[in-house]
Structure 1
Amino acid sequence: MARTCWLALVTFLATNAAPALSSAASEDMEFTFLLPAGSKECFFQTIDKDNKLEFEYRVIGQSNLDVSFTMISPSGHREFEDRRKSHAIHTLESTVQGDYQLCFDNSFSKIKEKMLFFTLLISSLNNTTEETDLAADIATNDTFEFKLQDFKARLDKLHQQIQRGRVIQLMLRTFDTRDQHLQDNNLWRVSFWSCVSMVLVLVVAVSQVRILESLFPES
């Protein structure tokens, strides 16, 4: 009997939980882009109703670089608005159906371009209801030996660890992108000043030769 209930549980999770997780994961968004000086870039993401939204952005590069950020809901309401920040984290507990607008503004800077990284994580609030329905379906058998609460606690712990690991991977990727950007800037500076130094050496050498030739005129 217990084996039959276990097979029923596995079948239910395979047919219902897996598609739900895959559809939720497909809505997540992560992006790295270059925001030119004096410009504004907006991104749009379609989100279902009654979802939890977690958003984080970071300016990659020097610590004094910042941008302005605005998140606008489908109804036109400004959910979040930041003025000249280099890093911020926002959480929206309940969303509405429609396209959310994410805008980054660098119009106040006329010289410096900004490298930005942002991630958008969306999780469904209906998971609790689905788990409750599943518990009600399975708990009808009093002789069921498997402890559903322990199984649910293990799943929740595993989900939290996966989410934590994903966030850590995203942050490491952000640091790699920042380091690459700094290396590119340093390479350009080294190349530029090397060329300048070479030109100066050639100018000094030619000048010295001319001076020596002027000191010993041909007879």
Structure 2
Amino acid sequence: MPTMWMSLVLFFLVSVSAHMMEVPASKKECFFEDLHVNDKMTVTYQVGGGGHLDIDFWMTDPEGLVLHKHIKQSTGTVSITTEKDGRHEYCFSNLMSTVVDKLVSFNVHGVVYYDDDDTVAPIEREIRSLAAGLMGVKDEQEYIVVRERTHRNTAESTNDRVKWWSVAQVIILFLAVAWQVYYLKDTDTRPSHSLK
């Protein structure tokens, strides 16, 4: 019985951290986690702004072997069960862009420790299932927040363009009216020539 409670306590020590960062043009940002054999970790990400809303992502093991790689993706999820002890690194790369910075939101579902006991109580299995579901809901909410921010930025940009285009049209209209008035007054003041 104490083993089950210990397992439950360790299970709830799952660290979920959400981050928002800007990856400058022609740069990459890397992070790492020190993991042990059979630890589980999930990284989810979403590009919320910049360019075509895409970024390169990869994850490597302690020996530098690439475990997962995504090229020019706007969103992604990578889950691993580690096979080696050591520092696992994951990177977001904006090397393909020379001008535009990218805004990236990502979550790291930290290490989930499972004991080696094969007999898992049904309540513990349900708790694990609920915790995984909650993580999925949290990821979806954060995805929706990033998408809403992206759509709001697009709407505000479009609104600004429409406003300045309207201002330009009004200025052009006033200039055209002023020119017509000037032209008509100028033709009225010219002496008329009559042929006799």
Contact residue 59 and residue 69 of structure 2 kept, 8 A: yes
Give the aligned partner of residue 141 of structure 2.
172
TM-score w.r.t. length of structure 1: 0.70
Give the aligned partner of residue 201 of structure 1.
170
SS at match of 1:216: helix
Q: For the residues of structure 1 that align with 2:163 and 2:42, how far apart are their CA atoms?
A: 46
Distance 1:32 1:122, change over 3 A: same
Q: For the residues of structure 1 that align with 2:54 and 2:154, how far apart are their CA atoms?
A: 18
Q: For the residues of structure 2 that align with 1:111 and 1:60, how far apart are their CA atoms?
A: 17
Q: For the residues of structure 2 that align with 1:94 and 1:170, how far apart are their CA atoms?
A: 22
How many residue pairs get aligned? The number is 187
Partner of residue 152 from structure 2, selected from 164, 171, 183: 183
In the alignment, is residue 54 of structure 1 matched against residue 52 of structure 2?
A: no
CA drift of 1:212 comes to 0.5
Same amino acid, percent of matched pairs: 17
SS at match of 2:14: helix
The letter for the 2-side match of 1:203 is I
CA drift of 1:198 comes to 0.6
Distance 1:187 1:98, change over 3 A: same
Give the aligned partner of residue 25 of structure 2.
37
Which is richer in helix?
1
Q: For the residues of structure 1 that align with 2:3 and 2:34, how far apart are their CA atoms?
A: 30
Alignment gaps of 5+ in structure 2 = 190-196
CA drift of 1:19 comes to 4.6
Give the aligned partner of residue 25 of structure 1.
14
Give the aligned partner of residue 109 of structure 2.
121
- Larger CA deviation: 111-120 vs 153-162: 111-120
SS at match of 1:38: coil
CA drift of 1:73 comes to 2.0
The letter for the 2-side match of 1:34 is E
Give the aligned partner of residue 98 of structure 2.
110
The letter for the 1-side match of 2:106 is F
Distance 1:161 1:172, change over 3 A: same
Larger relative contact order (CA 8 Å, sep ≥ 6)? 2
Contact residue 43 and residue 102 of structure 1 kept, 8 A: yes
Distance 1:66 1:178, change over 3 A: same
Q: For the residues of structure 2 that align with 1:93 and 1:175, how far apart are their CA atoms?
A: 28
Alignment root-mean-square deviation, CA: 3.0
TM-score w.r.t. length of structure 2: 0.76
Alignment gaps of 5+ in structure 1 = 1-8, 133-148
SS at match of 1:127: coil
Distance 1:10 1:73, change over 3 A: closer
Distance 1:193 1:216, change over 3 A: same
